[in-house]
Amino acid sequence: MLRAPHTQPAPLPEGAATRIPMQDHETDGHRARKRFGQNFLSDPNIIRRIIDAIRPQAGEPMVEIGPGLGAMTAPLIERLGHLHVVEIDRDLIARLHERYTPAQLTVHEGDALKFDFGGLCADAGQPLRVVGNLPYNISTPILFHLAGFAERVKDMTFMLQKEVVMRMVAEPGTEEYGRLSVMLQYRFRMGRMFDVPPGAFRPAPKVMSSIVRMAPLPRAQLGAQDEALLGAIVTAAFGQRRKTLKNTLREFMGDADFDAVGIDAGLRGEKLSVAQFVAIANHCSGRG
């Protein structure tokens, strides 16, 4: 159950706000697990910058995915009063329970890919805010999972591999533009905020990271009559990037169909805007 808004944030245990791991030995012996994609944020300047970008307000319903060693958890609780977290690592869960009281933190043990964020939204009675340093090895599936709860979310702010963020915000005609770009831009207004170097983590990843903010678009602006069909068409269009739409979408569109929507069948999928993909899907849906 999400807690009622606080007039003042609940105080942290003494010293909690400053318990930010800065060196390997300060992770209290926890070994980062590759299978969970663990890289722990440890640079206090970056942490402050992320928290300032999120701008958490006292009493807001918020959930953090993958709190890890709590680098962002502490300052979030300090500002919110209460926070929900989703964590799969039982060792880290035990540490969180030792460090915070139930009045400050609700821990949901499990896989974020299977977690029902809709339940938190329903309990809150107001749109949920979602934040986290997402595991890079499963970031794309998590983003698609979260998109299913977009109507009940206020915004989402994530740290992701920079390459993934560049794909998310890519424009048509660029090398990065693809299925992820189209499907997320259809549902969200997104903005890349700033980059985070490998040295801000323990252990340091081999890639640059970026912070991205995602705000769901109103349902009235989306436009697709059949979103499952839209997803199938976008997947087909980018399934073989070097082939033209005439080949990749032959299951859905013939020459007359392309003429009807005013789109050149000789183009490749990466040249089409989100609106053009929606037009194709709506044409196919209306055709029956």
Average pLDDT over residues 136-165: 95
Kindly report, residue by residue over 115-140, the tens digit of the pLDDT. Answer: 999 988 877 788 999 999 988 888 99
pLDDT above 80 (res 77): yes
* 184 annotated as ligand-binding: no
**Residues near 249 by beta carbon (within 8 Å), at least 6 away in sequence:** 233, 236, 237, 280
Number of helical H runs and strand E runs in the chain? 11, 9
What would the mean pLDDT of 141-151 be, rounded to a whole number?
Answer: 96
Say if residue 33's pLDDT is above 90.
no
155 has binding-site annotation: no
Token output for 225: 């009559």
Contact 136, 37 (CB under 8 A): yes
State yes or no: cis peptide before 203, omega within 30 of 0: yes
Q: Is 216 helix (H, G, I), strand (E, B) or coil?
A: strand
Please tell me the pTM assigned to this model: 0.85
Predicted local confidence at residue 1, as pLDDT: 39
Find where tokens 């012996």 sit: 29
Fold classified for 16-218 = Rossmann fold (3.40.50)
Rounded Cα distance, 189 and 169, in Å: 9
Query: According to the model, what pLDDT value does residue 121 have?
Result: 81
Each residue's pLDDT tens digit, 47-59: 999 999 999 999 9
Segments making up each domain of the chain, as ranges: 16-218, 227-287
Is there a shared CATH topology between the 16-218 domain and the 227-287 domain?
no
Helix (H, G, I), strand (E, B) or coil at 124: helix
111 annotated ligand binder: yes
Is pLDDT of 34 > 80? Answer: no
227-287 CATH pick, 1.10.3720.10, 3.30.70.250, 1.10.8.100, 3.20.20.70: 1.10.8.100
As a whole number, mean pLDDT of residues 139-166 equals 96
Question: How high is the pLDDT of residue 38?
Answer: 53
Mean pLDDT estimate for the chain = 87
Sequence-ordered list of residues with C-beta below 8 angstroms from that of 14, at least 6 positions apart, any chain: none
Q: Summarize the confidence of residues 56-82 as an average pLDDT.
A: 95
C-alpha 13 chain-centroid distance: 29
Share of the chain above pLDDT 90, in %: 73
Q: Is 66 part of any known ligand binding site?
A: yes
Using 50, 70 and 90 to split pLDDT, how confident is the model at 4?
A: very low
Residue 244 has pLDDT above 90, yes or no: yes
In which residue are the tokens 């009622």 written?
Answer: 4
- Report the 10 Å Cβ neighbour count for 38: 22
Q: Is 39 annotated as a binding residue?
A: yes
With cut-offs at 50, 70 and 90, classify the pLDDT of residue 44.
very high
Q: How many CB atoms lie within 10 A of CB 145?
A: 16
Query: Is residue 264 a known part of a binding site?
Result: no
